[in-house]
């Protein structure tokens, strides 16, 4: 899987040039606006709630001794929980709402690499693409929260919290890459088939998502460029994966 993770990361190296070559920037105007507005709302709300959550957690410690230390830890954990959940919400909201605009991008990229994108594709409307995006990202949002909450609780355990940080990052990356890959998969597979395909190619999803998360860490510019770069990178690798394995097969 490490090899496919690296492949997913390497796909970003040619993303800028491919976007320019295929003249795709115009398709990203509305998704970039969606991304900026959503980021402002989600992370603004997260900033307002972080202190409140920290105070709530600190009340668990009913003893006087060590209360100041636990309060400091609680504020940190509270802030981390808010940031992580805010990032999860932001990620799935923008990917769901941008689906109708990203599907044409992935289709043009598929045409560039295959010269015959409609050979095994399904024709879908704007509404169908939007609903598919909401359905996939809604499912991923629930799955990611189910996995993330227990991982966040591990932050209270010394030493273990180091490994939980890595695990949390990988979970975030997987579901980010999942959403980006589905812009291509929606033309080829039904909902459940796409889930199986991504599971089989989870390395590509993780590799794509790793850079997705890192790009978001770049102030302002990251929020604007994250979709153009990640969707382009994911589309190139998903198309190649489809050529090598056109059928969704259960992961082993």
- Mean pLDDT computed over 134-149: 92
Percentage of the chain beyond pLDDT 90 is: 52
Please state the rounded mean pLDDT for residues 97-102: 92
Tell me how far apart the alpha carbons of residues 224 and 110 are, in angstroms, rounded to a whole number.
Answer: 23
239/159: higher pLDDT: 239
Angle at 212 between CA 206 and CA 217, to 5 degrees: 130
Residue 62 has pLDDT above 90, yes or no: no
So what's the pLDDT on residue 117?
53
Q: What are phi and psi of 98, to 5 degrees?
A: -90, -5
Q: Which residue has the higher pLDDT, 204 or 217?
A: 204
| pLDDT computed for residue 86 by the predictor | 83
Going by C-alpha positions, the residue among 131, 217, 133, 130 that lies closest to residue 172 is 217
pLDDT at 231 over 60: yes
Each residue's pLDDT tens digit, 111-130? 999 876 554 455 667 888 88
User: First and final CA of the chain: distance in angstroms?
Assistant: 12
The per-residue pLDDT for 108 is 92
Measured distance CA(4)–CA(9) in Å, rounded: 9
Q: Which letter does DSSP use for residue 159 in this model?
A: T
Average model confidence (pLDDT) across the chain: 85
Lowest mean pLDDT segment, chosen from 105-119, 125-139, 176-190: 105-119
Q: What is the mean pLDDT of residues 51-60?
A: 66
Domain ranges of the chain: 2-243
Please tell me the distance from the alpha carbon of residue 47 to that of residue 178, in angstroms, as a whole number.
Answer: 27
Question: CB under 8 Å to 4, separation ≥6 — which residues?
Answer: 201, 202, 203, 204, 207
Whether 229 has a pLDDT exceeding 90, the answer reads: yes
pLDDT computed for residue 16 by the predictor: 93
pLDDT band (50, 70, 90) for residue 251: very low
Measure CA 45 to chain center: 20
- Reported pTM: 0.84
> What angle do helix axes 191-200 and 126-153 make, rounded to 10 degrees?
50
Q: What is the rounded CA–CA span in Å between residue 167 and residue 240?
A: 28
């Amino acid at each position: 899987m490490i090899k496919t993770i690296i492949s997913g990361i390497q796909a970003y190296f040619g993303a800028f040039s491919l976007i320019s070559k295929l003249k795709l920037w115009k398709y990203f105007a509305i998704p970039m606006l969606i991304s900026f507005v959503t980021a402002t709302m989600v992370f603004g709300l997260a900033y307002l709630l972080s202190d409140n959550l920290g105070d709530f957690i600190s009340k668990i410690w009913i003893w006087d001794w060590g209360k100041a230390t636990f309060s400091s830890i609680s504020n940190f954990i509270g802030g981390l929980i808010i940031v992580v959940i805010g990032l999860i919400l932001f990620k799935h909201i923008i990917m769901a709402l941008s689906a109708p605009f990203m599907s044409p991008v992935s289709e043009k990229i598929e045409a560039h690499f295959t010269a015959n994108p409609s050979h095994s594709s399904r024709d879908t409307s704007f509404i169908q693409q939007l609903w598919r995006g909401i359905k996939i990202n809604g499912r991923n949002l629930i799955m990611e929260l189910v996995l993330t909450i227990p991982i966040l609780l591990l932050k209270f355990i010394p030493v273990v919290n180091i490994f939980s940080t890595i695990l949390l990052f990988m979970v975030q990356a997987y579901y980010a890459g999942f959403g980006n890959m589905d812009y291509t998969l929606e033309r080829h597979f039904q909902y459940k088939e796409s889930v199986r395909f991504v599971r089989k190619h989870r390395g590509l999803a993780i590799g794509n998502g790793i850079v997705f998360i890192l790009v978001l860490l770049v102030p302002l510019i990251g929020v604007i460029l994250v979709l153009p770069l990640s969707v382009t990178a994911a589309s190139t690798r998903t198309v190649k994966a489809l050529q090598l394995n056109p059928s969704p097969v259960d992961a082993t």
